[in-house]
């Protein structure tokens, strides 16, 4: 039986690396992205190098798109073992909490917080058919309440704080699932920039571990480098 992973936002950066590594481990990866050309190209590249990979068009900020993606997935597979919610944005102008408009905050929350929730909701019927269903929400240390904020991209950080809340609620609502948040660290991606201290391989490590090797009983946690960190 092939294991299946859907990974919105997987056409580049951490999502691409997670997809590549999971395909190499024998997962049938369903790689999700809004951009169809980039998504298909990424899926084809991974399929040639690592293993079976299928592109799935999905815009996590659009409920109709998410519903359609779940429907398309169900045509190709009868269950889903691992859902990785990776899509995330930092909106231009996210520089100060007192200067952030309502619209900027709404746009950020729509993708970073509501996106993972609506995708999980849509795929729960397929995850329930797995013997060991797992949901992994890619969060950020910027969302930690412990230690206070440093003022960087407040809308993004608030959206990740809220995502951690979604993770905690989902873990309670889905007691047979393993549902966790991950902070990949400051990673050299388009979002993180080239000055970042971590490679995409380092950023992907805990996500891949949670998808494949972590104990199923590990749930409702926030992790970095395979260790629990404070909320």
Consecutive H or E run containing 53: strand 53-57
- pLDDT above 70 (res 10): no
- pLDDT above 60 (res 4): no
Mean pLDDT across 131-159: 96
- pLDDT above 70 (res 167): yes
- pLDDT above 80 (res 158): yes
pLDDT, residue 193, reads 62
pLDDT, residue 43, reads 96
Mean pLDDT across 216-220: 98
What are the Cα distances from residue 39, in Å, to 8, 25, 142, 216? 10, 20, 28, 30
For domain 58-63+77-228, the question of CATH label 3.40.50.720 is answered with yes
pLDDT, residue 2, reads 35
- Which one has a higher pLDDT value, 139 or 8? 139
Catalytic position from the list 27, 30, 73, 156:
156
Give per-residue pLDDT as tens, 17-55.
Answer: 999 999 999 999 999 999 999 999 999 999 999 889 999
Domain boundaries, the chain: 58-63+77-228
Measure the CA–CA gap between 114 and 20, rounded to whole angstroms: 26
Both tokens of residue 102?
A: 């309502």
Please confirm, yes or no, whether 16 is among the known catalytic residues: no
- pLDDT above 80 (res 195): no
- pLDDT above 50 (res 146): yes
Measure the CA–CA gap between 173 and 180, rounded to whole angstroms: 13
- Which one has a higher pLDDT value, 59 or 185? 59
Contact 89, 60 (CB under 8 A): no
Mean pLDDT across 165-192: 87
pLDDT, residue 8, reads 41
pTM: 0.92
Measure the CA–CA gap between 17 and 50, rounded to whole angstroms: 11
- pLDDT above 70 (res 192): no
Mean pLDDT across 56-84: 98
Place of tokens 């909490």: 97
pLDDT, residue 50, reads 85
Give percent of the chain with pLDDT exceeding 70.
Answer: 90
Mean pLDDT of the chain: 92
Both tokens of residue 207?
A: 């996500």
pLDDT, residue 11, reads 54
pLDDT, residue 13, reads 85
Mean pLDDT across 75-92: 96
């Amino acid at each position: 039986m092939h294991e299946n992973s859907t990974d919105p936002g997987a056409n580049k950066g951490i999502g691409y690396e997670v997809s590549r590594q999971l395909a190499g481990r024998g997962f049938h990866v369903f790689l999700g992205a809004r951009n169809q050309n980039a998504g298909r190209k990424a899926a084809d590249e991974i399929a040639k190098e690592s293993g079976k990979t299928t592109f799935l068009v999905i815009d996590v900020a659009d409920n109709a798109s998410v519903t359609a993606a779940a429907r398309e997935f169900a045509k190709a597979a009868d269950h889903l073992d691992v859902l990785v919610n990776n899509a995330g944005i930092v909106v231009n102008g996210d520089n100060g909490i007192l200067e952030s408009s309502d619209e900027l905050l709404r746009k950020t929350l729509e993708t970073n917080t509501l996106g993972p929730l609506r995708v999980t909701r849509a795929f729960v019927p397929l995850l329930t058919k797995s013997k060991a269903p797992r949901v992994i929400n890619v969060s950020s240390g910027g969302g930690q309440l412990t230690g206070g904020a440093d003022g960087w991209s407040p809308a993004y950080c608030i959206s990740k704080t809220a995502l951690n809340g979604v993770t905690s609620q989902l873990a309670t609502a889905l007691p047979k699932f393993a549902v966790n948040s991950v902070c990949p660290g400051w990673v050299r991606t388009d979002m993180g920039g080239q000055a970042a201290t971590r490679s995409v391989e380092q950023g992907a490590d805990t996500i891949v571990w949670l998808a494949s090797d972590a104990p199923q009983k590990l749930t409702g946690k926030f992790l970095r480098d395979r260790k629990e960190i404070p909320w």
